[in-house]
Amino acid sequence: MTKTKNILVQNQTIQVKRVSESTYLSLTDIARAKNPDEPKDVVKNWLRSRQSIEFLGLWESINNPNFKGVEFDSFRKEAGLNSFTLSPTKWIDNTGAIGLVSKAGRYGGTFAHPDVAFEFASWISAEFNSFSSKSSSGSSKTKLIPKSSNGTSLVALQKLTTAFIPMRLPSICFQQSN
């Protein structure tokens, strides 16, 4: 991971990193808005959900030619059970996932492709989810669009419709911070 930037979303700073050719957002930072003391537990709870596992499996099967579908099936069968636990690292290691990246230790955390990050954020916040329900048809593109007014740089992080995550966010929600 290289080149870290921060964006401010609803008064929460979220790291944005370039991973290969894509921009990834910090799920850890998004989760911190829900549980400032243990954000990793929020991420792990999201991963326990059957709906989350099915979403991740669909996203990986569309975007990752090396996705291990057989390993995914074992997670899908267990997802939602009280005894089921899953960490981002276990998901990545067992399925060959590319939608999540995870690094332990200081300056670490779990980062996700914007498609995955928006799905996670909509699970975290009903307000964010209401933004995601306002969809439009079109191609899938994630853009950071700088705008300036009086020296303040606003960033519109806008996710146009994909086949499985319709999303359009108002640009005023995002403010660049470094």
The count of C-alpha atoms lying within 13 angstroms of the C-alpha of 143, restricted to the half-sphere facing its C-beta, is 15
pLDDT at 4: 78
Count of beta carbons in the 10 Å neighbourhood of residue 44: 17
Give DSSP secondary structure letters for 150-177.
TTEEEEEEEE---SS------GGGEEEE
Q: What percent of the chain has pLDDT over 90?
A: 49
| Domain range list for the chain | 2-177
Q: How confident is the model at residue 157 (pLDDT cuts 50, 70, 90)?
A: very low
Q: What is the pLDDT of residues 39-79, one digit of tens each?
A: 999 999 999 999 999 999 999 999 999 999 999 999 999 99
Determine the residue type at 157: L
Record the tokens describing residue 176, joined without a space.
């660049």
Residue with the larger pLDDT of the pair 96 and 19:
96
The count of C-alpha atoms lying within 13 angstroms of the C-alpha of 62, restricted to the half-sphere facing its C-beta, is 14
pTM of the model: 0.71
Cβ atoms 78, 50 nearer than 8 A: no
β-strand partners of 13: 8
Q: What is the pLDDT of residues 99-110, one digit of tens each?
A: 999 988 877 899
In whole angstroms, what separates CA 26 from the centre of its chain?
Answer: 7
The residue written with tokens 């994630």 in the block is: 142
